[in-house]
């Protein structure tokens, strides 16, 4: 317990040999096992043991006669603890673990009741048309089968596209304990072995993407980012530059955006005012007028992936000028 709340649980099944021992000995074994289990946390500090076996409260004051009891008590030497009596009605968490039942190794989930599905198939135009073709031309519809009024596609139960059962299926096979909030692929694989409906892949993908639990708790399974690679140091001034836009500024003389052009060697910069909206042609004109006119065309330009810098006009202009365009990593 920490701050009045449990931080860990454990339980252990008794062997046939230990089942024959008295309740007192079983409770003592439980204390020894628990203290040994959490030895790294308990050794060297004072702690309390709560038990519903009242006689164990006087464990350190009793004369231990049995050989097994002496062996168990010796394992508790070196620990600084006190034993306190706690009635079973107040110790429900421990009782729940010691009385946990295992009824069967096999569990079967009955996630859906299919009463009324036959009527849904008959009222859905696409499913009804498919059923008619299966009845009239079974040889041409070998992938479909009719069983007890239900339609199967490649052995999978077919659900009408707009059926409310679809959402219940998605909830059962994704949100439940057996679903485990799996990703798109696993959820799709699990559902597609039993069911089929038109557009199921898209429905599953949208359901998983909108799942609040998944979005809040799951990490992004992306490839680890590589190491940062520094840019080479330029050998001459204004041969290698970088540029970007600063937008969202208060308007001054009709201008609300600044094109920043920086020489990567000297860090000398040009700040060119622009009016939003602007296009690749307009940016190229002011760049040539304010930068190329003074320093010539650079060998390379480093920029982000703004639509201006990725445009065909911009790329073709600097290809003809012999300038290499370098882009920062997308994020």
**Mean of the per-residue pLDDT values for the chain?**
85
Domain co-membership, 264 together with 295 = yes
Domain membership of residue 226 (yes or no) is no
Confidence band, pLDDT 50/70/90 cuts, at residue 113: low
Q: Write down the pLDDT at residue 30.
A: 86
Q: Which residues pair with 257 in a beta bridge?
A: 274
Residues in the chain: 331
Mean pLDDT computed over 95-108:
59
- pLDDT(110) > 60: no
Q: What angle do CA 278, 295, 288 make, to 5 degrees?
A: 25
Last residue of a domain, one of 217, 250, 281: 217
What whole-number distance in Å separates Cα of residue 68 and Cα of residue 133? 78
Last residue of a domain, one of 30, 64, 98: 98
Q: What angle do CA 96, 99, 105 make, to 5 degrees?
A: 110
Q: In this structure, are strands 156-158 and 195-196 parallel, antiparallel, or unpaired?
A: parallel
* Residue-wise pLDDT tens digits, 230-278: 889 999 999 999 999 999 899 999 899 999 999 999 999 999 999 988 8
Q: Give the CATH number, domain containing residue 164.
A: 1.10.340.70
Domain co-membership, 267 together with 322 = yes
Domain co-membership, 126 together with 207 = yes
Print the domain residue range for 306: 240-327
What whole-number distance in Å separates Cα of residue 74 and Cα of residue 54? 21
Q: What angle do CA 289, 294, 299 make, to 5 degrees?
A: 95
Q: What angle do CA 204, 210, 215 make, to 5 degrees?
A: 115
Domain membership of residue 44 (yes or no) is yes
Last residue of a domain, one of 69, 98, 127: 98
Q: What is the DSSP letter of 64?
A: -
Give the torsion sign (CA, 211, 214, 220, 221): negative
Mean pLDDT computed over 280-286:
93
CB 257 within 8 A of CB 246: yes
Q: Write down the pLDDT at residue 1.
A: 61
| 153 Cβ neighbours under 8 A, 6+ residues apart | 143, 144, 196
DSSP string, 228-255: --PPPPPSSTTSEEEEEEE-SPPPBTTB
Domain co-membership, 89 together with 33 = yes
Domain co-membership, 135 together with 180 = yes
What whole-number distance in Å separates Cα of residue 311 and Cα of residue 305? 10
Alpha helix (H) residue ranges in 81-163: 92-98, 117-123, 125-136
Q: Write down the pLDDT at residue 111.
A: 46
Place of tokens 């609040």: 212
* Nearest C-alpha neighbor of 79 from the set 111, 114, 52, 44: 44
Share of the chain above pLDDT 70, in %: 88
What whole-number distance in Å separates Cα of residue 88 and Cα of residue 94? 9
Mean pLDDT computed over 150-155:
90
Instruction: Please tell me which residue, 214 or 296, carries the higher pLDDT value.
Output: 296
- pLDDT(2) > 70: no
| 3-state class (DSSP) for residue 132 | helix
Place of tokens 């308007």: 251
Distances (CA, A) of 150 to 96, 129, 153, 155: 44, 14, 10, 11
Assign 3-state DSSP to the chain and report helix, strand, coil percentages, each to 5.
40, 15, 40
CB 190 within 8 A of CB 173: yes
Q: How many domains does the chain have?
A: 3
- Residue 157 parent element (H or E): strand 156-158
* Residue-wise pLDDT tens digits, 168-225: 999 989 988 888 888 888 899 999 999 999 999 999 999 998 988 888 877 666 666 6
Domain co-membership, 70 together with 121 = no
* Residue-wise pLDDT tens digits, 16-68: 888 888 888 888 888 888 888 888 888 888 988 888 888 887 777 776 667 77
- pLDDT(73) > 60: yes
- pLDDT(105) > 60: no
Domain co-membership, 170 together with 213 = yes
Domain co-membership, 20 together with 57 = yes
- Residue 261 parent element (H or E): strand 257-263
Confidence band, pLDDT 50/70/90 cuts, at residue 85: confident
Mean pLDDT computed over 145-155:
89
Q: Write down the pLDDT at residue 76.
A: 84
């Amino acid at each position: 317990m920490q701050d009045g709340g449990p931080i860990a649980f454990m339980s252990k099944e008794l062997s046939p040999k230990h089942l024959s021992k008295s309740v007192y000995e079983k409770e003592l074994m439980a204390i020894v096992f628990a203290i040994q289990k959490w030895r790294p946390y308990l050794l060297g500090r004072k702690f309390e043991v709560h038990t519903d076996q009242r006689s164990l409260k006087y464990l350190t004051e009793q004369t231990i006669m049995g050989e097994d009891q002496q062996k168990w008590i010796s394992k508790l030497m070196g620990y600084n603890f006190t034993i306190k009596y706690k009635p079973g009605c107040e110790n429900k968490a421990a009782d729940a673990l010691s009385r946990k039942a295992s009824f069967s190794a096999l569990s079967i989930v009955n996630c859906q009741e299919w009463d009324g599905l036959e009527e849904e198939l008959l009222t859905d135009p696409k499913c009804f048309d498919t059923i008619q073709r299966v009845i009239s031309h079974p040889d041409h519809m070998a992938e479909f089968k009719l069983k007890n009024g239900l339609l199967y596609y490649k052995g999978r139960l077919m659900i009408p596209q707009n059926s409310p059962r679809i959402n219940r299926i998605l909830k059962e096979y994704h949100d439940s304990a057996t679903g485990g909030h799996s990703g798109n692929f696993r959820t799709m694989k699990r559902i597609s072995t039993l069911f089929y409906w038109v557009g199921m892949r898209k429905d599953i993908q949208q359901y998983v993407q909108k799942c609040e639990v998944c979005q809040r708790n799951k990490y992004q399974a992306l490839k680890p980012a590589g190491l940062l690679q520094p840019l080479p140091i330029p050998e001459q001034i204004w041969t290698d530059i970088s540029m970007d836009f600063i937008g969202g500024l208060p308007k001054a003389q009709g201008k609300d955006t600044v094109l920043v052009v920086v020489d990567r060697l000297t860090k000398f910069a040009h700040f060119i005012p622009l009016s939003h909206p602007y296009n690749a042609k307009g940016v190229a004109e002011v760049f040539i007028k304010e930068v190329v006119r003074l320093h010539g065309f650079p060998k390379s330009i480093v920029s982000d992936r703004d639509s201006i810098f990725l445009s065909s006009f911009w790329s073709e202009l600097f290809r003809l000028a012999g300038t290499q365009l370098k882009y920062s990593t997308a994020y």
